[in-house]
A and B are shown apart, each in its own frame.
Chain A
Amino acid sequence: MPGAPAPFALLAELTHRCPLHCLYCSNPLELRRRDEELTTGDWVRVFGEAADLGVVQTHLSGGEPLLRRDLEEITGAANGYGIYTQLVTSGVGLTRQRLAALRARGLDAVQLSIQATDARTATTIAGVGAVSAKARAAAEVVVGGVALTINVVLHRLNIDQLDAIIDLALEWRADRLELANVQFYSWALANRSLLLASTDQINRAHERFLQRRRDLGDRLKMTWVRPDYHDELAKACMNGWGRTSLTVAPDGRTLPCPVASGIDTLRFDSVRDHPLAWIWQESPAFAAYRGTDWMPEPCRSCDRREIDFGGCRCQAFALTGDASRTDPVCLLSEDHHLVTAAVSAAGRECPQGTPEPREGIAGASYRGWPGSDHP
């Protein structure tokens, strides 16, 4: 399809294996096994093809990408093709030696996740605490002279720690802090009643964010990813389907969005079977919701159709079973009540304090644990 724009960014999910078991993980419920993962050679070829297609930035992610022993080689290949590389990591396993090796291969930046500022809450969220391992990793990144972003997925169990999170980012000398309100897909959707913050919690946190950002000025660059359930307008998910970004999953399946594999009415082609350019430009899954022709009403005649692109296809599918419907987050969606009902339930049920660590949370689904294939 000659109308396809060139993609800017590629999310490389190098593995689904991970030492953490976060309640909100966006990896699919069906995690790929190690023996299904692409080889080093596959990834080198993918990055070459991606650069030819227009990709200038990659996020080396997972799972935990440090579990791949060939991460240095993959990083070097992407860098060699002129692609900006950011490692997206839990920090577990990010030793001084590993960081130095990655840096020598041209790594541009590290995004380090934290789940909470204290080990107890972090354990509740991720099954393991790992706070001190993360502190050590942050120190290595800063000492190594690599740009450090701290990413926190905010939800009901940690959003009241916002000030402490900002203080921790300052203490660890991060360059940037990304405060990403949880989006409800995959594991997060399975755990939605546990994770959905009340409107009061969100409003309090957002006010603190604005105040702290004013106070800190350019000492710390902070961004706030909106909690879309609490909005009345849909987000411009992925800047539009097949428009600026793509994801290559551990087994080579290539997706317009990291969570798109949840849409089981589409077949996603693999870089094992097709050149990346064909998948991006011509494959049926990428063409399915590109542009505006596929839109139903009320999107089709809406003034915002080129702004939010109808919102999120994965969310429409997850909540209604039909990926072509208007994102239920939008006030104008016929399915908007599905979102407002969940939000008002969160307001009523919001518990005081933090639940007991993992074993104590009845009905919680921790990704990859127990009974899964994690190492």
Chain B
Amino acid sequence: MSCGPCWTPSTQQSRKRVSEPERGTDPAWRPMLASGVRIIHDRVRDADLLLMPEQVIVLNASAAAILRRCTGDDSLDSMISALSDEFAGDSLPEDVSQFLAMAAMEGWVS
């Protein structure tokens, strides 16, 4: 079957944005990449990419660092403490929560 140009994956730069916070602020949530979503390092572009059925997302360094930890093993709280060792900034807990809430809304993590 073929449905024409609608199959085109959109490519976009990952970005933080404010969104519905409830999920991203539950400290016990153990985020994991959604079914069919994987993260790779692309040798041609020297960039981290998030791949999924209809999209390719070019990740910036912090988005990649967060999403690589979304294995379902770690709670949001423990992810934040691990990321705090890697990245500086007082707003880090809030930034990570907001990013993951957005990622859940986009269907990247569950």
**What is A's interface to B at a CB cutoff of 8 Å?**
6, 8-9, 11, 13, 18, 20, 22, 24-27, 52-54, 56-57, 59, 61-64, 82, 84, 86, 88-90, 108-109, 111, 113, 146-147, 149, 151, 153, 175-176, 178, 180, 182-183, 185-186, 188, 218, 221, 223, 225, 235, 237-239, 244-245, 257-259, 312, 314
Closest to A91 in B: B1
Q: Are A25 and B54 in contact (CB under 8 A)?
A: no
**What is B's interface to A at a CB cutoff of 8 Å?**
1-11, 34-38, 40, 42, 44-45, 49, 51-54, 56, 104-105, 107, 110
User: With A8-B11, A221-B107 known to touch, is A183 a contact of B44 (CB < 8 Å)?
Assistant: no
Closest to A114 in B: B1
The contact of A20 among B1, B8, B45, by CB within 8 Å, is B1
| Secondary structure dominating the interface of A | mixed
The contact of B5 among A25, A89, A259, by CB within 8 Å, is A259
Q: Are B8 and A238 in contact (CB under 8 A)?
A: yes
Inside 8 A of A52's CB, which chain B residues have their CB? 44
Q: Are A147 and B2 in contact (CB under 8 A)?
A: no
Q: Are B4 and A176 in contact (CB under 8 A)?
A: no
Inside 8 A of A149's CB, which chain B residues have their CB? 36, 53-54
Closest to B1 in A: A113
Inside 8 A of A182's CB, which chain B residues have their CB? 3-4
Task: Give A54 Cβ to nearest chain B Cβ, in Å.
Answer: 4
Inside 8 A of B107's CB, which chain A residues have their CB? 175-176, 218, 221
Inside 8 A of A185's CB, which chain B residues have their CB? 4-5
Q: A147-B53, A149-B36, A183-B3 are in contact. List 13 more A-B contacts (CB 8 A).
A: A24-B4, A26-B5, A56-B51, A57-B51, A63-B2, A82-B40, A88-B7, A147-B36, A175-B107, A176-B53, A176-B54, A180-B3, A244-B11
- What are 11 A-B pairs at a CB distance below 8 A? A26-B2, A26-B3, A53-B44, A54-B42, A61-B7, A62-B2, A88-B1, A109-B36, A113-B1, A147-B53, A244-B11
Q: Please, how many angstroms separate the alpha-carbon atoms of A244 and B104 in the complex?
A: 25
The contact of A9 among B3, B9, B105, B110, by CB within 8 Å, is B9
Q: Please, how many angstroms separate the alpha-carbon atoms of A178 and B9 in the complex?
A: 12
Inside 8 A of A20's CB, which chain B residues have their CB? 1
Inside 8 A of B44's CB, which chain A residues have their CB? 6, 52-54
Identify which of B42, B53, B107 gathers the most chain A CB atoms within 10 Å of its CB. B53
Inside 8 A of A25's CB, which chain B residues have their CB? 1-2
User: With A54-B42, A64-B1, A90-B1 known to touch, is A225 a contact of B9 (CB < 8 Å)?
Assistant: no
Inside 8 A of A180's CB, which chain B residues have their CB? 3-4, 6
Q: Are B38 and A108 in contact (CB under 8 A)?
A: yes
Inside 8 A of B34's CB, which chain A residues have their CB? 147, 175, 221
Q: Are B8 and A27 in contact (CB under 8 A)?
A: no
Closest to A188 in B: B4
Task: Give A262 Cβ to nearest chain B Cβ, in Å.
Answer: 11
User: With A54-B42, A54-B45, A218-B104 known to touch, is A183 a contact of B5 (CB < 8 Å)?
Assistant: yes
Q: Are A258 and B45 in contact (CB under 8 A)?
A: no
Q: Are B3 and A84 in contact (CB under 8 A)?
A: no
Task: Give B69 Cβ to nearest chain A Cβ, in Å.
Answer: 19
Identify which of A56, A176, A182 gathers the most chain B CB atoms within 10 Å of its CB. A56
Task: Give A318 Cβ to nearest chain B Cβ, in Å.
Answer: 12
Q: Are B36 and A183 in contact (CB under 8 A)?
A: no
Q: Are A62 and B1 in contact (CB under 8 A)?
A: yes
User: With A54-B42, A218-B110 known to touch, is A9 a contact of B56 (CB < 8 Å)?
Assistant: yes
The contact of B36 among A82, A108, A151, by CB within 8 Å, is A108
Q: Please, how many angstroms separate the alpha-carbon atoms of A108 and B9 in the complex?
A: 15
Q: Are B4 and A258 in contact (CB under 8 A)?
A: yes
Q: Please, how many angstroms separate the alpha-carbon atoms of A8 and B58 in the complex?
A: 10
Q: Are B1 and A22 in contact (CB under 8 A)?
A: yes
The contact of A147 among B8, B35, B49, B104, by CB within 8 Å, is B35
Q: Please, how many angstroms separate the alpha-carbon atoms of A90 and B1 in the complex?
A: 6
Q: Please, how many angstroms separate the alpha-carbon atoms of A178 and B4 in the complex?
A: 13
Task: Give A188 Cβ to nearest chain B Cβ, in Å.
Answer: 7
Task: Give A135 Cβ to nearest chain B Cβ, in Å.
Answer: 16
Q: Please, how many angstroms separate the alpha-carbon atoms of A175 and B108 in the complex?
A: 11
User: With A6-B44, A54-B42, A56-B42 known to touch, is A183 a contact of B56 (CB < 8 Å)?
Assistant: no
Inside 8 A of B45's CB, which chain A residues have their CB? 6, 54
Q: Are B53 and A239 in contact (CB under 8 A)?
A: no
Inside 8 A of B35's CB, which chain A residues have their CB? 147, 175
